[in-house]
Amino acid sequence: MRRKTQLALGAGAAVLATVAMGTAPAMAHNGDGGDRTVTLQATLTELNGSGASGTATAVVRNQRIQHIEVRAEGLTPDAPHAQHIHYGEQAMNECPTLALDSNGDGRVNTLEGVPAYGPVVISLNTTGDTSPASFLDVDRFPVSEDGSYDYSRDNIKFTRVAGTGYPGADGAGSASEIAEAIRAGEGVVVIHGVDYDGNGMYNFSDPEGASELDPSLPAEATDPAACGVLR
């Protein structure tokens, strides 16, 4: 069951990366991509009653993340967990609350959280591509051993990302604009995957059922489990 779910998750990979932004006031960035190195830290706290927590630390220089570490615990044991850096020029660039639960089902699903944290700008995979195109390639995301993992990676490039709320037909932010915003403390680390019914795997159990990203996916596999702002 878990393997089947992992393979199915890839079908929804294009959905979140270009989703429309919320209506929060835009914040200006000059996009110069200047020669500046900052170290950012985030405290990850649970979403959707997951019980997950953790920390993230990133060293960002120019248009690259020189080094990033994510340490998480309290996650669904022995399951893959998609994790990303989110950002949107028109997003609030913060973690969501139940105030964004638009359908009143008592949880914040992935798309409901977008006005708070924005779309994916970096996929924190273990190997290979780290662009938004890989945002649900779960074969390359960390698997929690007994509910926890330590993740680290070097030399991650920022890229141009459509749908990030900048002026223009596709709302794309350049690599330098997005990198500058992350250095300014507007990037949000989000870990996904919540085993609501506690049966040890992601499934289509009631009342959560299917993911809003794709009806062939379980909501348990895509709902946000932990979140923190890199500052």
Q: Would you state the pLDDT for residue 213?
A: 78
- Taking only the tens of pLDDT, the chain with its 231 residues reads 343 334 334 334 334 544 433 333 333 344 444 568 999 999 999 999 999 999 999 999 999 999 999 999 999 999 999 999 999 999 999 999 999 999 999 999 999 999 999 999 999 999 999 999 999 888 899 999 999 999 999 999 999 999 999 999 899 999 999 999 999 999 999 999 999 999 888 999 878 899 887 787 899 999 999 999 999
Q: Would you state the pLDDT for residue 35?
A: 66
Q: What is the extent of the structural domain holding 155? A: 2-230
Domain count, the chain: 1
How far apart CA 89 and CA 196 sit, in angstroms, is 32
pTM confidence score: 0.86
Q: Would you state the pLDDT for residue 16?
A: 53
How does pLDDT run across 52-82, given as a tens digit for each residue? 999 999 999 999 999 999 999 999 999 999 9
